[in-house]
Amino acid sequence: MTRSQTNAVEVRGLVKHFGETKALDGVDLDVREGTVLGVLGPNGAGKTTLVRCLSTLLVPDAGTATVAGYDVVRQPRQLRRTIGLTGQYASVDEKLSGFENLYMIGRLLDLSRADARRRADEMLERFSLTEAAKRPAMNYSGGMRRRLDLAASMIGQPAVLYLDEPTTGLDPRTRNEVWDEVKRMVSEGVTVLLTTQYMEEAEQLASELTVVDRGKVIARGEVDELKAKVGGRTLKVRPVDPEQLPAMAAALRETGLDGVAGATVVPDEGALYVPILADEQLTAVVALLGARGFGIAHIGTHLPSLDEVFLAITGQKTADSDEFTEEVAA
């Protein structure tokens, strides 16, 4: 990892336990100024706890963390001036209109009445909420609410923005809208720490990735590096007869093709997962399976899911799913 710039966020050995649960168990990470770090992990990996520690909502048990040079424990007041937070659940007041929400935040950030009003109007305009400005937020759609939430976080022009699973629970179209907004904010120089469960989201928004599981960092690197490791796209093949799965995997392994040779059988799904590094490989795999006379019931490609990322990185599935048979060279 090249580190040419200064870090906006530095986390060292961060620990937070809730009774027996080690939500954070010694996490290290850096977010370079002006970049997006994706923190990828399943439910319960400690992502939200991390964000809550970095936004002064929780006091860590051990370790240090600085944001924009301010220590989360010793300088919480200064730190709060530099951050914005958009959580999994919209942190706006549902009974207030979009305008009133933003105006209130402007006032809480010490803008004058006139400035707060102007800034609220600007943000409404920018996040395409002008038409809905006077309606109570409870009548907004999920996507509008999330946009209002982002607008609220941007009122104070934060140096560092935390996005805690910003698109969880949104439909694909709305998700794209939120992504576009985030990209725009990043283009304006905001540093973002993004937590997500979706590889696709990380790929869309982040330049670097930190993969966490059960409170620990299990992999880190540039998104492209990790993608190469994970294999980018995956082809999922379900044969008519699941008995043929091992034979199919063996046939693909014989090809010796990078990626394709890493074909993995997932018995509980009755499917074969084949990493695909290039379009030609896709054709080759389908041709080969056809030539060998395997009956195929279903075929499809998709970007790696979190499970597959974990599979590739650790050779294990996420904590939720326990069944796994074949080894994968990581």
Partner 1 sequence: MSTTTVTKSPVGTPDPTPARPHRADAEGRIGLRANLRHIGALARRNALQIKQDPESMFDAVFMPIIFILLFVYVFGGAISGKGNNDAYVNYVAPGLMAMMGMNIAMAVGVGINDDFKKGVMDRFRTMPIARSSVLIAKIVVEVGRMLVATAILLGMSFLLGLTIHTSVLHLFAAIGLSMVFGASLMWIFILIGLTVKTAQAVQGMAMMVLMPLQFGSSIFAPTATMPGWLETFTDYNPLSNLADAARNLINGGPVAHSVWMTLGWALAITVVTAPLAVSKFRKKT
Site for partner 1, rule CB under 8 A: 8, 52, 55-58, 68-70, 75-78, 80-83, 85, 87, 89-96, 100, 104-105, 107-111, 115, 118-119, 122, 126, 136, 149, 152, 156-159, 184, 187-190
Q: Least distance in Å: CB of 64 to partner 1?
A: 14
Nearer Cβ to partner 1 (77/173): 77
* Dihedral in degrees, nearest 10, Cα atoms 189, 3, 307, 316: -160
Nearer Cβ to partner 1 (193/285): 193
Nearer Cβ to partner 1 (82/244): 82
Q: Least distance in Å: CB of 87 to partner 1?
A: 5
Q: Least distance in Å: CB of 96 to partner 1?
A: 5
Say how far apart CA 83 and CA 64 lie, in whole Å.
17
Nearer Cβ to partner 1 (43/157): 157
What tokens appear for 273 in the block? 């997962």
Q: Least distance in Å: CB of 194 to partner 1?
A: 17
Q: Least distance in Å: CB of 128 to partner 1?
A: 14
Nearer Cβ to partner 1 (189/315): 189
Say how far apart CA 78 and CA 159 lie, in whole Å.
12
Nearer Cβ to partner 1 (13/34): 34
Q: Least distance in Å: CB of 220 to partner 1?
A: 24
- Residue entry with tokens 């301010």: 70
Say how far apart CA 58 and CA 73 lie, in whole Å.
9
Helices 142-154 & 113-126 angle (0-180, nearest 10):
140
Phi, psi of 133 (to 5 degrees): -55, -35
Helix (H) or strand (E) holding 156, with range, is none
Of the candidates 140, 156, 159, which has an alpha carbon nearest to the alpha carbon of residue 148?
140
